[in-house]
A and B are shown apart, each in its own frame.
Chain A
Amino acid sequence: MSQEDQRQAETESSAARQPDEPVGVSDEAGHEAYWRANVRTLLSLLLVWFFVSFGCGILWVDALNEYSFFGWKLGFWFSQQGAIYTFVVLIFVYVFKMNALDRRFNVDEDR
């Protein structure tokens, strides 16, 4: 197990010890855990971002155009409509997830 993994394991176990208590960021481990969760969230959302725009809208557009979606060819719809709708949803999912994360780590700005 590398040093990185070890640290992550430690922080996760410390979070597991006190599930109801907000986890602070005052110590190194808490700060690290918050940041890791943040990066994980945004990487998973960026994967979707890449998939709908560069994937469905550009790389596989010709293959998807074989299918029709209402009056559109599917690839064409993704590149001119679908990708944009997905972008909007992604940002709001991010907002929702980050607000929850902030509360869990006691760093939300309402307190």
Chain B
Amino acid sequence: MSAQVLTYIFVGLTFGLYIAIAIWSRSGSTADFYVAGGHVHPLANGAATAADWMSAASYLSMAGIIAFEGADGARYLMGWTGGYVLLALCLAPYLRKFAKFTVPDFVGDRYYSQTARLVAVLCVVFISFTYIAGQMRGVGIVFSRFLEVDIDLGVGIGMGIVFFYAVLGGMKGITYTQVAQYCVLIFAYLVPAIYISLMLTNVPLPMLGFGSTLNDGSGMFLLDKLDGLTQELGMAAFTEGKKSTVDMFFITAALMAGTAGLPHVIVRFFTVPSVRDARVSAGYALIFIALLYTTAPAVAAFARLNIIDALNETEYQALPEWFSKWEDSGLLAWVDKNQDGKLQYRGGAALEPAKPIFSGERGASGERLVSNEVGASANELYIDRDIIVLAHPEIAQLPNWVVALVAAGGLAAALSTAAGLLLVISSAISHDLLKNTLARNLTETQELRWARVSAAVAILIAGLFGIYPPGFVAEVVAFAFGLAAASFFPVILLGIFSTRMNKEAAISGMLSGLILTTSYISYFKFMAPELNHAEHWWFGISPEGIGTLGMLLNFAVALVVMRVTPPPPESVVNMVRAIRIPKQAS
């Protein structure tokens, strides 16, 4: 069977499964809708958290980034897993004991302030929409590449599926579909990785395989071979980083604190029955995440090696079939700079500007011509990093069913994250904005109806973002983590670990962190992008890492303001004392 037919079958089957789960787990109350009634088994919550957290970016893009950046890719690997240690030790158990529905709930109650609650609602909505735009786009890309439907139609189908289980099932529906989606996505990620690891090294586990010797008879370690090849071709050695230590440090810290402060992750820990379950559930979640995150760098190394092997010094006519397919979609391009009819893959950018602009004509060998300036380097290949995971099974010539599986996995990753984000947006509107602020006399039934309405509206807006992607999506993702790190993380942490922490300190801390982070990122990303180089950055910190500085400022301002303003009321102090212990002794 062709890969396309198989993809239709796999995608159809998985979508059928998600719908069946949604019908089985409908929500009947607001507690069901917001936190799945608080009855989720910690193991199931671990799998759901992993699917919730691992987005189209983790699944589709991360291995590609590492394949081309090598050692520098570690900031994502450590940043996006290390945050779970902070979450498990410093936030999750106490927030579970607090036992409400949302993050703005905690901020509003702990700081006895409607202003703080509203600031939190705004941050939640902004962070979540930033994130969701990328997910819907990911759904569209998978559909258009593998099923040859229009990107817009693909986004539409994705919206329909999410609509079904998020609006009907709320958190309950989302949780159990996320468990299924985790199984689909991890299976789809590991199968090709294991295949390729066996092909290159005879070692079945990819996370061990990429530290083993090659089976081509040379007896060389895979990474030594890759380091040698990359240097020979004038590229940075795969295992050497190019980023400065300071920048790596700050970016990793921002990603860690941002992960711990992201509302759609935090809220998953409201769904388990007890404090003890919240702790262990974070452990399960990290095991599930680590399975993919320790495989990703292996996939990256394998892919880089396979690409050099398949393409370098090969005549265009003799290039593998996948090359022309991805060339047609505009994600690969070749310029025959030295007119020898062969592809030279070297260091440096092939084109200027970096992304190809196709002229619509074909060259002497049949390649798509570009109208870009050719860069100074001898490199003739442009390759989009996002295709690595999707194209790798074809590059390694794996069977069609593996190719189809990867597409279904990509959809599972994007849809599960989108659903989690939508729920956070909908509860911020119906629960925090309406029920707790504007319309306090809502009945349970009315609130549930509003939750469904706001989920539906949020899906429509998210779909529009997917169909008409704003040009700044990639830029604002740095915002999401920076903001979470500079706003929520310090305020929640101090709210638990200091009984003296008051509303004045929280608001001034959040504001100073937010203002610093927002203005630094906007300056370098929007106002003066031409200055976005290390020599103009403060202390060599890139906009990606500035959230860490925002977080430190937030802590500093809060700790000073706290000492010169009145302490919080007795009732709040008692609340903090209560969330610090799992159960009051009888």
Contacts and interface: CB of A to CB of B under 8 A. Distances in A.
Interface string B260-295: 000000000000001110011011001100100110
Interface in A21-42: 24-26, 31, 34-35, 38-39, 42
B283 A95 contact: yes
Interface stretch (B53-61, B221-229, B447-455, B464-472): B221-229
Interface string A72-111: 1100110111011101101110110011001001111101
Given A26-B585, A79-B71, A107-B581, A49 B85 contact: yes
B472 to A, nearest CB: 29
A29 to B, nearest CB: 13
Interface in B76-112: 77-78, 81-82, 84-86, 88-90, 93
A55 to B, nearest CB: 10
B279 A94 contact: yes
A108 B212 contact: no
B580 interface: yes
A11 interface: no
A91 B582 contact: no
A63 B332 CA distance: 37
A102 B297 CA distance: 39
A15 interface: no
Range of interface residues on chain B?
Answer: 35 or more
Given A79-B77, A80-B74, A91-B84, A25 B581 contact: yes
B212 A109 contact: no
Interface string B211-241: 1110000000111100000000000000101
B11 interface: no
Nearest to B209: A71
Contacts of B582: 102, 107-109
Interface string B287-321: 10010011001000000000000000000000000
A100 to B, nearest CB: 12
Given A54-B253, A59-B249, A108-B276, A72 B211 contact: yes
B405 interface: no
B252 A107 contact: no
Given A31-B577, A107-B582, A87 B211 contact: no
Contacts of B207: 81
A86 to B, nearest CB: 9
Nearest to A90: B85
Contacts of B275: 109
Most central of B239, B282, B584 by chain A CB within 10 Å: B239
A97 B439 CA distance: 44
B286 A31 contact: no
Main secondary structure of the interface of B (DSSP, over half): helix
B403 interface: no
A77 B239 CA distance: 9
A39 B496 CA distance: 11
A71 B222 CA distance: 7
A29 B253 CA distance: 36
A83 B82 contact: yes
A94 B88 contact: yes
Contacts of A73: 223, 239
Given A88-B283, A108-B276, A83 B223 contact: no
Contacts of B213: 71
A57 B211 contact: no
A109 B583 contact: yes
B171 interface: no
A54 B497 CA distance: 23
Given A38-B580, A71-B222, A87-B84, A61 B279 contact: no
B519 interface: no
Interface string A44-55: 011001000110
Interface string B188-215: 0000000000000000000100111100
B212 A46 contact: no
A94 to B, nearest CB: 6
Contacts of A79: 71, 74, 77-78
A88 B88 CA distance: 10
A98 B279 contact: yes
A88 B290 CA distance: 8
Contact of B294 (A57, A81, A95, A108): A81
B223 A84 contact: no
B245 interface: yes
B558 interface: no
Contacts of B249: 54, 58-59
Interface of B: 66, 71, 73-74, 77-78, 81-82, 84-86, 88-90, 93, 207, 210-213, 221-224, 239, 241, 245, 248-249, 252-253, 256, 274-276, 279-280, 282-283, 286-287, 290, 293-294, 297, 497, 577, 580-586
19 contacts: A26-B585, A45-B85, A58-B248, A58-B249, A61-B71, A71-B211, A73-B223, A76-B71, A80-B71, A80-B73, A84-B293, A84-B294, A87-B82, A87-B290, A90-B85, A91-B283, A94-B89, A109-B583, A111-B583
Interface of A: 24-26, 31, 34-35, 38-39, 42, 45-46, 49, 53-54, 57-59, 61, 65, 69-73, 76-77, 79-81, 83-85, 87-88, 90-92, 94-95, 98-99, 102, 105-109, 111
Q: Which are the 6 A-B pairs with shortest beta-carbon distances?
A: A79-B74, A71-B221, A71-B211, A91-B283, A80-B297, A42-B89
